[in-house]
Structure formats: structure tokens, C-alpha cells
């Protein structure tokens, strides 16, 4: 899914698309399927499952190219697929995910409470740095600061902020952010995702405690 500069300029000149009820249901379906794969599917089966889900997400972007939400979730699915696949072969998928998240930010940086900032920051934190990949902790930090301005109490925002602080060796600050993440309000319709994220937070808190004790 590569776009020449002219096509990209046309895409970004479109007004942000307001999702109708059908689009909202389609988005919710992708979100729920992602959570099922990420948190309830055996690890060995996740890559194939994410590959199938990516077709739905890409179809959404083709049909709703002015919907930042579609680009955000296509980026999330591709990055998750890359994580499930692993290895150097996953780099093309994380590069595609970066492009999609950047498209979403150009259309509407506030979409889904700034989720594009959070998801892109996670890529910069996890992808290897130069010369293998584009990983960059400083860029991750700046993106997360933007995400926190938009959604300071969100479970994902605080989890990835805590993870970033942990990676930088700021363990006490990481613990504070992660404990705050556990207090985040539940998201209607995202129960599986919330439960899975809380488990990840608890696991990371255990790692933080090991560093502090």
C-alpha cells in the first residue's frame, strides 16, 4: 500500500470523514477481532490471524480514505502482525504501519483520543534503530507527550508511557504511570482489550518492582 506524492497530497486534502453507524460497527468489529487475536489466540496462530484481519483493515482504508480511524486501525493491525511474525521479515510491515499512522495524524491527530500518537510511539520504542530499522526513543518520547496531552487518563496512553519510562531506566516514574493506568476507566465494547492490557500492565509492574527492589 504505497502512495505516490501526488496521491498522498490528494488524500490529505480530503476533509476528515465522520463515521456513520455502519462505519462505527465496522471499526468496532476490527477492534474486537484484534483484541481476540492479541489476547485470546495461541501465539503460534496470531500471525496468520492478523494477516486475515489486515485485509479487513486495508479494505476500510480503501473505502474510507478520509477516515483517520481507519488508518489508525490498519496501522495497529499491521504493527501487531509484525510483532507476531518477528524477525527481519516484519520490518516491511512496521514501515507500512508507520506510514498509515502518519496518514491518520495528518488527517485528524485527535482521532480516537490521539491513538495514532500512542501507536506510532510504540513503534519507535520497539523497532530496532538504524541501520536495521527506524527505532528512535527520542521520537517515541515526543509522540507520547502529545498523546498524554490529548488523553492523559487513557489506559493505553499510560501503559505505553510507563513502558517507555521503563525502557529508559526511569523505574519509579514508570511505576507511577502504570499504577495510574490500572485506574483508567473501562471502555464500553473493549472489555477483552482492557482485560488484556491490564494483564500486560501487571506483568510490567512486576518487572519494574524487580528493578526497584
Please check whether residue 81 is in contact with residue 49, taking contact to mean a CB–CB distance below 8 angstroms: no
Output the pLDDT for position 213: 87
Q: Which sequence spans correspond to the domains of the chain?
A: 23-135, 152-213
The mean predicted confidence, pLDDT, of the chain is 92
pTM to 2 decimal places: 0.90
| pLDDT value of residue 8 | 36
Supply the pLDDT for residue 195. Answer: 98
Sign for the pseudo-dihedral over CA of 103, 104, 109, 114: negative
The mean pLDDT of 180-187, rounded to a whole number, is 97
* Dihedral (Cα; 177, 183, 189, 191), 10-degree rounding: 90
Q: Output DSSP code: residue 41.
A: S
pLDDT digits (tens, 9 = 90+) for 116-154: 999 999 999 999 999 889 999 999 999 999 999 999 999
Which band of pLDDT confidence, cut at 50, 70 and 90, is reported for residue 17?
low
Distance CA 108, CA 117 (A): 11
Cβ atoms of 79 and 119 within 8 Å: the answer is yes
The pLDDT, as a whole number, for residue 177 is: 98
Amino acid at each position: 500500500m504505497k502512495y505516490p506524492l501526488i496521491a498522498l497530497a490528494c488524500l490529505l486534502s480530503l476533509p476528515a470523514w465522520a463515521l456513520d453507524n455502519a462505519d462505527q460497527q465496522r471499526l468496532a468489529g476490527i477492534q474486537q477481532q484484534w483484541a481476540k487475536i492479541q489476547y485470546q489466540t495461541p501465539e503460534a496462530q496470531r500471525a496468520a490471524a492478523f494477516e486475515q484481519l489486515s485485509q479487513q483493515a486495508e479494505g476500510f482504508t480503501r473505502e474510507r480514505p478520509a477516515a483517520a480511524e481507519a488508518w489508525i486501525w490498519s496501522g495497529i493491525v499491521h504493527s501487531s502482525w509484525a510483532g507476531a511474525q518477528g524477525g527481519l521479515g516484519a520490518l516491511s510491515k512496521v514501515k507500512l504501519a508507520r506510514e498509515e499512522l502518519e496518514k491518520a495524524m495528518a488527517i485528524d491527530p485527535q482521532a480516537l483520543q490521539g491513538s495514532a500518537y500512542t501507536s506510532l510511539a510504540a513503534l519507535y520504542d520497539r523497532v530496532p534503530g538504524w541501520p536495521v530499522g527506524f527505532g528512535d526513543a527520542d521520537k517515541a518520547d515526543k509522540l507520547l507527550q502529545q498523546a498524554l496531552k490529548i488523553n492523559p487518563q487513557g489506559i493505553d496512553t499510560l501503559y505505553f508511557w510507563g513502558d517507555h519510562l521503563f525502557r529508559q531506566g526511569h523505574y519509579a516514574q514508570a511505576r507511577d504511570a502504570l499504577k495510574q493506568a490500572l485506574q483508567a476507566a473501562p471502555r464500553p465494547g473493549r472489555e477483552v482489550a482492557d482485560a488484556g492490557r491490564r494483564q500486560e500492565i501487571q506483568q510490567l509492574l512486576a518487572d519494574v518492582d524487580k528493578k526497584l527492589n
